[in-house]
A and B are shown apart, each in its own frame.
Chain A
Amino acid sequence: EVQLLASGGGLVQPGGSLRLSCAASGFTFSSSGMSWVRQAPGKGLEWVSSISSTSGNTYYADSVRGRFTVSRDNSKNTLYLHMNSLSAEDTALYYCAKRLSGSSKGFDCWGQGTLVTVSS
């Protein structure tokens, strides 16, 4: 069974930093592109970042570029999101998601999310 378990969320002050993790199991992690998607309370989904299977390519939403860094450790089957210079606008439930394989595009498996709250 494909599983994604996100962790690392919590309460952080404006300007602070946080690192999210996403532990993957049930599929060949090292062959799968991965992404982070967030959802502010009561709001819609927002794509945040994606990373290719070998970490060779990374992509970011304009709203986080320069502040967030996506990475992965294929030896640990784990995806990361390093978040710096956090503001209230970054408060959201952060989902990790597995990208479809091959040339298809979309997210076929989602974790349960980890909540990030930015507040003083």
Chain B
Amino acid sequence: QSALTQPASVSGSPGQSITISCAGTSSDVGGYNFVSWYQQHPGKAPKLMIYDVSNRPSGVSNRFSGSKSGNTASLTISGLQAEDEADYYCSSYTSSGTFYVFGTGTKVTVL
């Protein structure tokens, strides 16, 4: 099972919107509405930001939103803030013989 494909880095200025893509296959992202997104600051544990493609856990800012089209999922951060600078990982349930697969990770830089 190969990792889902994410861009290595995305950057934006404060207040702007950015979108991170997560490309998979019909066995994972495209086949199920079970994509989740995680934010990880340096030296910290990951934090769930989006689950089941577009649902936000309690306490997560509504500046974070998720969507999916075909085999590609996306995370959009609107009104970019300095605190959003972190690594972001997508994950999906997969029917390929394992259970979950993570993306390669994207470093978000706030300019």
User: Are these two chains actual partners, yes or no?
Assistant: yes
Which residues of A approach B to under 8 Å, CB–CB?
Answer: 35, 37, 44-47, 50, 59-62, 95, 100, 104-113
* B65 beta carbon closer than 8 Å to chain A: no
B76 close to A (CB within 8 Å): no
How does the 8 Å CB contact mask read for B26-60 relative to A, with 1 for contact and 0 for none? 00000010101010100001111001100101000
- Closest A residue to B102 using CB positions: A45
Q: A44-B104, A45-B89, A100-B51 are in contact. Are A61 and B36 (CB under 8 A)?
A: no
Known: A62-B97, A105-B34, A108-B57. A44 touches B103 (CB 8 A): yes
B1 within 8 A of partner (CB): yes
Number of A-B contacts (CB under 8 A): 68
Assembled-state Cα–Cα distance A59/B3 (Å): 17
B24 interface residue (CB < 8 Å to A): no
Chain A residues positioned under 8 Å from B98 (CB to CB): 47, 59-62
CB pair A106–B45 under 8 Å, yes or no, is no
- Whether B45 contacts A112 by the Cβ 8 Å rule is yes
Interfacial chain A residues near B34, Cβ < 8 Å: 104-106
Most B CB atoms within 10 A — which of A46, A100, A112, A113?
A: A100
Residues on the B chain within 8 Å of A61, using CB: 1, 98
Q: How far is the CA of A50 from the CA of B98 in the complex (A)?
A: 10
**Interchain CA distance A106-B47 in the complex, whole Å:** 11
Nearest opposing residue in chain B for A100, CB measure: B51
How near does chain B come to A71, taking the closest CB pair, in angstroms?
16
Known contacts A105-B34, A106-B91, A108-B51; A50/B45 CB under 8 A: no
Least CB separation from B57: chain A residue: A108
Q: Which residues of A contact B47 (CB under 8 A)?
A: 110
Q: Of the candidates A44, A100, A113, which one forms a contact with B45 in the assembled complex, judged by CB atoms under 8 Å apart?
A: A113
Contact A59 B46 (CB under 8 A): no
Distance of B103 from chain A, by nearest CB (Å): 7
Listed from nearest, the 4 A-B pairs whose CB atoms lie closest are A106-B36, A59-B99, A106-B51, A110-B45
Contact string against A for B residues 71-111, beta-carbon threshold 8 Å, 1 for contact and 0 otherwise: 00000000000000000010101000111111111000000
- Chain B residues within an 8 Å CB radius of A113: 45
Residues from chain A with a CB closer than 8 A to the CB of B57 are 108
